[in-house]
Chain A
Amino acid sequence: MIAGLAMLLAVLLALGLLTGAAGFGVPDATILWQLRLPRTALAALVGAGLGLSGAVLQGALRNPLADPGLLGIGGCASLGAVAAFYWGISAAFAPALPLAGLAGAALGSAALLAMAGRAPAGPSLILAGVALSALAAALLAMALALAPNPFALAEITFWLMGGLADRSLLHLALAAPPIALGCALLLRLGGRLDALALGEEVAASLGAPAGRTLLLAAVGVALVVGAGTAVAGGIGFVGLVVPHLLRPALGERPGAILAPSLLAGAALLLAADLLARSLPLLLPLSAEPPLGVLTALLGAPFLVRIARRMAA
């Protein structure tokens, strides 16, 4: 399964480097290095982080509907990035955008853990996350309503839809270290998540207390989702959908789907981004559909299917 996913990922990476606005084929060096490589690598990195985050959060909260967006960390990263747009910092200093996104995610995670109390149990953490999401969404709406000029409004709105067009090597350099660090942390949580499957008391008696597991998961997800949102905008459903795609084939043990979720998340977002890039070549579209819109369009019907299967 891992080997199959890795092969799929390799094929998609190659396709990602060969497909673009200039059509299909080996591009010249400038396009390859300045456009296709950052875009393809970012799609793989962000998707890997989102897929792994979804698998870890579902395991840590013992809830098949958990998703990085649920805890408000993505919303806070968006808010940080939008603040950089709002005050025009991102226009003056390009790295300000991803840095502000990371800062937003870090602040959001700190607020989340503070709101959930010292020993964050599952339900209180989810409630605090929902509250944080609502707060971030309200502040985002306020930023839109009070936007200094129509251009800022358009820029913010478009960025919120999520996408990887026109990202540079600088974006890649800024996002890669936190995502890699976060993934390394999250991949080590397999045993702790397995222990939690039988409840918090059993986990504690096995020497893996739930509070510490949730703290480690929150730190890892903040790094991965903060950096991912900062460079790619709001991309939903990948973290939610990927673990559900894998469970029928790999079983439901939480630790068994971590590494596969990382690979499958990367493959899924690469495929979605390839679709976004090739749609203008195939259909009479004036521009690419936003990546976040595409993942939501593909993810929403899938979520309905999961809900119906769970009810059965």
Chain B
Amino acid sequence: MIASGTIKLALPLVALAGRPVLRDIDVAFAPGQLAALIGPNGAGKTTLLRALAGLLPGTPPRDPKRLAYVPQGARSAWGMTVGQVAALGRIPHGDQREAPVARALAACGIVGLREARIDRISGGQARRAMLARAFATEPEMFLLDEPTADLDPAAAHAIMALLRDTARAGAGVVVVVHALDLARLYADRLLLLVDGRITADGPPDTVLPRAAAAFGLPWGIDPAPRLLPPGAAAPA
């Protein structure tokens, strides 16, 4: 028995423009977990996320009411307000209910920006507005491509904490992250992608030691980097 909200994907081979991008993919993501996809640039993280979202040819289509996808660096072509952007998340439901939009804005901490134009706020605030759009759908599964890219450390930690809390509340979250410290601190499960294959999959403590070789760093990566949890004082 698979829990409701679990998404599965089995793909022997995905090629884009004749070049193989993903190989031997067979994964499932459960609700209640924050899973992070890590790996070097070009490893296929974004392609895997798009495949999970059903956006690649040959991948199973997903129910837009149950799954929300936020691509990397999503921008609005028009100067809509933050509230209007968040309300786009109701399109799959075909309703214009206010309550889910208000809850989404509150969860993302941008209630005060509701009437602000998306192209006149900071990058971090715009990132939150795009997340609020996904929250307004109230899906069972979130697929987020680098939601913390270009953000300052405080904003990045705030968004990862929000995603962890979302997973604790019962939704499934799959997120692409480059910052290994964030992945280690917040994710329940890490998946390491190298050349289109998932080469490690498990709790952060077992996957992170294998990441050093994957990233091709001659000096290796501290498997347990020292981190300051939010609010902690710097060591003397």
Contacts and interface: CB of A to CB of B under 8 A. Distances in A.
A binds B: yes
Highest count of chain A CB atoms <10 Å: which of B50, B53, B77 = B77
Contact of A205 (B53, B79, B80): B53
Contacts of B62: 205
Contacts of A254: 78
Contacts of B89: 206
Given A201-B71, A252-B79, A195 B88 contact: yes
Interface in A141-199: 191, 194-199
Contact of B64 (A62, A197, A207, A253): A207
A296 interface: no
A110 interface: no
A130 interface: no
Interface residues of A, number: 19
A206 B84 contact: no
A6 interface: no
Contacts of B85: 197-198
A252 B55 contact: no
Contact of B88 (A197, A204, A251, A252): A197
Contact of B71 (A191, A194, A196, A199): A199
B78 A205 contact: no
Contacts of A62: 77-78
B121 to A, nearest CB: 15
Interface string B68-93: 11110011111111001100110110
Interface in A220-259: 251-254
Contacts of A196: 77
B64 A206 contact: yes
Contacts of A297: none
B77 to A, nearest CB: 4
Nearest to A201: B71
Interface in B85-105: 85, 88-89, 91-92, 94
Given A206-B64, A207-B92, A201 B50 contact: yes
Highest count of chain A CB atoms <10 Å: which of B75, B81, B84, B94 = B84
Highest count of chain B CB atoms <10 Å: which of A197, A202, A252, A253 = A202
A280 B55 CA distance: 59
Given A199-B71, A202-B74, A207 B79 contact: no
A204 B214 CA distance: 33
Given A205-B64, A205-B68, A252-B79, A198 B55 contact: no
B36 interface: no
A208 interface: yes
Given A198-B133, A205-B68, A251 B91 contact: no
B91 A253 contact: no
Contacts of B53: 205
Given A201-B55, A254-B78, A194 B91 contact: yes
A206 B75 contact: no
Nearest to B133: A198
Interface in B47-77: 50, 53-55, 62, 64, 67-71, 74-77
A204 B35 CA distance: 23
Contact of A198 (B54, B74, B94): B74
Nearest to B143: A205
A201 B54 CA distance: 10
A84 to B, nearest CB: 39
B50 A252 contact: no
B130 interface: yes
Nearest to B92: A207
B80 A251 contact: yes
Contact of B78 (A191, A195, A206, A253): A253
A223 to B, nearest CB: 25
A204 B91 CA distance: 11
A54 B75 CA distance: 22
B75 A198 contact: yes
9 contacts: A194-B88, A197-B78, A198-B85, A198-B130, A201-B50, A205-B53, A205-B54, A205-B68, A207-B91
Interface of B: 50, 53-55, 62, 64, 67-71, 74-81, 84-85, 88-89, 91-92, 94, 117, 130, 133
Given A202-B69, A252-B80, 12 more contacts: A191-B91, A198-B74, A198-B85, A199-B75, A202-B88, A205-B68, A206-B88, A251-B79, A251-B80, A251-B81, A251-B84, A253-B80
